[in-house]
């Protein structure tokens, strides 16, 4: 079945450093979504990418969807302590189901 792989599993950075997490799907996706889950919280929707090669920005966050619609990345510029949490990518298909990646847990040292 469809699998979504995400790396790295953990990332520790110094505040102010950049951070990137990568997502790869075994199949072509209709869309890819990104979620953030704070410790003890539930996943919160960040963004959805639909078009091949799409790039979207939210302040210090940059999201990319690959040309083949099988991979994606999230890049955070100049991390802050408020960025701490686990970032999940989730591949969407035509059925409405989401297949989540394993997540990347970001720790930021002040």
Partner 1 sequence: SAVISQKPSRDICQRGTSLTIQCQVDSQVTMMFWYRQQPGQSLTLIATANQGSEATYESGFVIDKFPISRPNLTFSTLTVSNMSPEDSSIYLCSVEVTGSGNYGYTFGSGTRLTVV
102 near partner 1, judged by CB under 8 A: yes
In sequence order, what are the residues at sequence separation of 6 or more whose Cβ sits closer than 8 angstroms to the Cβ of residue 71? 22, 23, 24, 25, 65
107, 79 in Cβ contact below 8 A?
no
CB of 85 to partner 1, least distance (A): 13
35 near partner 1, judged by CB under 8 A: yes
Handedness of CA 85, 98, 32, 5 (dihedral sign): positive
CB of 22 to partner 1, least distance (A): 15
Choice from 13, 22, 24, 47 touching partner 1 (CB under 8 A): 47
Burial of 92 (0-12, 13-18, 19+ CB in 10 A): middle
Choice from 17, 20, 22, 48 touching partner 1 (CB under 8 A): 48
Is the CB of 12 or the CB of 45 nearer to partner 1? Answer: 45
27 near partner 1, judged by CB under 8 A: no
Q: Which residues, 60 to 99, sit near partner 1 by CB under 8 A?
A: 88, 90, 95-99
């Amino acid at each position: 079945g469809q699998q979504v792989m995400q790396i790295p599993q953990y990332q520790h950075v110094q505040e102010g450093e950049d951070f990137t997490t990568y997502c790869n799907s075994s199949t072509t996706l209709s869309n890819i979504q990104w979620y953030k889950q704070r410790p003890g919280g539930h996943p919160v929707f960040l963004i959805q990418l639909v078009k091949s090669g799409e790039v979207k920005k939210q302040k210090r966050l940059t999201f990319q969807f690959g040309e083949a619609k099988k991979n994606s990345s999230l890049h955070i510029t100049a991390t802050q302590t408020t960025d701490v949490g686990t970032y999940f990518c989730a591949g969407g298909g035509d059925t409405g189901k989401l297949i989540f990646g394993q997540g990347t847990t970001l720790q930021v040292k002040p």
